[in-house]
Structure 1
Amino acid sequence: MKLLQALFFPPEQPGGVSSMIPYMQERFSSTRWEMELFWIPKRLRNKGQEEIVFDTFDWTLYQDSTIVQKYIQTYRDYLWWGRMRLQKSYNLIHAHHPIAGLALKRIFPDTPLIQTIHSSYERELILNGIIQENGLEHQFLVSLYRELEMKSQRMMTVSHSFAGYLSSYVDYPEDIEIIPNGFDEKRFKPVPHENEVTQLVTVCRLVPAKGLDILLKACAELKARGHDYVLHIIGDGPFRTELESLAQELGIYNETIFYGYTLHPEEFVPFFDIFVLPSRAEAFGSVFAEAALSCLALVGTEVGGIPEQIEDGVNGLLVPQEDYVALSEALEKMISDPSYRYELARSAFEKAKSEYSLTHVVNRFKKVYLQFENRKSEG
Structure 2
Amino acid sequence: MNILQALFFPPEQPGGVSSMVPYIQERFNQMDYEMELFSLPKRIRNKGNEPVSFKTFDHTPYLGNTLVDKYIQTYRDYLWWTQMRIKKKYDLIHAHHPIAAMVMKRVFPDTKLILTLHSSYERELILNKKIEAGGPEHQFLTSIYRELEVTADRILTVSHAFQTYLHHYVEDAGRIKVIHNGFDEKRFRPIAHENEVTQLISVCRLVPAKGLDVLLKACARIKEKGHPFVLHLIGDGPIRKELEAMAQSLGLYDDIIFYGYMLHPEEFMPFFDVFVLPSRAEAFGSVFAEAALCQLALVGTNVGGISEQIEHGVNGLLVPVEDDEALAEALETVIIDPDYRYQLARAASDKAKKDYSLERVIAQLKKVYREEKSK
Identity of aligned residues (%): 68
Report the equivalent of 1:206. Answer: 206
Amino acid at match of 1:283: A
2:144 corresponds to which residue? Answer: 144
Tell whether 2:132 aligns with 1:111.
no
Q: Corresponding residue for 2:315?
A: 315
Indicate whether 1:291 and 2:291 are aligned. Answer: yes
Matches within 5 A, 1:1-150: 1-30=1-30, 32-150=32-150
Q: How many Å apart are 1:273 and its aligned residue?
A: 0.1
SS in 2 for 1:87: coil
1:336 matched residue in structure 2: 336
Letter in 1 for 2:151: K
Q: Which residue of 2 aligns with 1:219?
A: 219
Partners of 1:268 and 1:74 lie apart in 2 by 34
- Secondary structure of 2:171's match? coil
Distance 1:94 1:29 in 2: 15
The answer for the alignment partner of 1:166 in structure 2 is: 166
- Residue by residue over 1:301-352, the C-alpha shift from the partner in whole angstroms, topping out at 9 and shown as x without a partner, is 0111111000000000000000000000000000110000000000000000
Matched-pair contact (CA < 8 Å) for 1:9–1:41: yes
Once the 2 structures are TM-superposed, how far is the Cα of residue 20 of structure 1 from its aligned partner?
0.6
Shift of 1:24: 1.1
SS state at 1:202 partner: strand
Structure 1 position 25, deviation (Å): 1.5
Provide Cα deviations, 1:117-160, integer angstroms capped at 9, x if missing partner.
10000000011111111111100100000000101011110000
Structure 2: how far apart are the matches of 1:269 and 1:119? 24
Q: Distance in 2 between matches of 1:335 and 1:249?
A: 23
| Aligned equivalents of 2:54, 2:141: Cα separation in 1 | 13
TM-score (norm 2): 0.99
In 2: Cα distance, 1:31 partner to 1:14 partner: 27
Q: Which residue of 1 aligns with 2:269?
A: 269
User: What code does the residue aligned with 2:140 have?
Assistant: F
2:364 corresponds in structure 1 to 364
Alpha-carbon shift at residue 42 of structure 1 (Å): 0.4
Question: How many corresponding residue pairs?
Answer: 375
For structure 1, which segment, 23-32 or 348-357, has the greater mean C-alpha deviation from structure 2 after superposition? 23-32
User: Do the aligned residues in 1 keep the contact of 2:112 with 2:373 (CA within 8 Å)?
Assistant: no
Q: CA deviation at 1:31?
A: 5.7
Shift in Å, 1:255 = 0.4
Q: CA deviation at 1:373?
A: 2.5
Runs of 4 or more, structure 1, over 3 Å off, are none
Give the distance between the partners of 1:138 and 1:61, measured in 2 at CA.
Answer: 13
Question: What per-residue deviation string (whole Å, max 9, x for no partner) do you get for residues 254-276 of structure 1?
Answer: 10000000011111100100000
CA contact (8 A) 2:158 2:180 kept: yes
Does the CA contact (< 8 Å) of 1:101 and 1:113 recur in 2?
yes
Supply the AA of the counterpart residue of 1:8.
F
Structure 1 length as normaliser, TM-score? 0.98
- Following superposition, the deviation at residue 61 of structure 1 comes to 1.6
Amino acid at match of 2:34: E
- Given that 1:157 and 1:180 are in contact with CA atoms closer than 8 Å, whether structure 2 keeps it comes out as yes
Whole-angstrom distance in 2 between the partners of 1:139 and 1:16: 26
Write the distance in 1 (CA, Å) between the matches of 2:79 and 2:25.
24
**Deviation at residue 19 of structure 1 after TM alignment:** 2.0
Cα distance, 1:372 vs structure 2 = 2.1
Matched-pair contact (CA < 8 Å) for 1:3–1:90: yes
Matched to 1:68, the amino acid is V
Q: Which amino acid aligns with 1:117?
A: L
Gaps of 5+ in 2: none
TM-fit CA distance, 1:30:
3.7
Give yes or no for contact 1:159–1:284 (8 Å, CA) kept in 2.
Answer: yes
Using the alignment, how far apart are the partners of 1:364 and 1:62 within structure 2?
Answer: 38
Q: Distance in 1 between matches of 2:29 and 2:151?
A: 29
Instruction: Give distance in 1, aligned partners of 2:31 and 2:255.
Output: 53
SS at match of 2:43: coil
Output the amino acid matched with 2:19. S
Q: Partner residue of 1:243?
A: 243
Contact 1:5 1:36 in 2 (8 A): yes
Give distance in 2, aligned partners of 1:136 and 1:65.
Answer: 8
Instruction: Give the SS at the match of 1:89.
Output: coil
Matched position secondary structure for 1:254:
coil
**Is the 1:91–1:372 Cα contact (8 Å) retained in structure 2?**
no
Gap regions ≥5 residues in structure 1: none
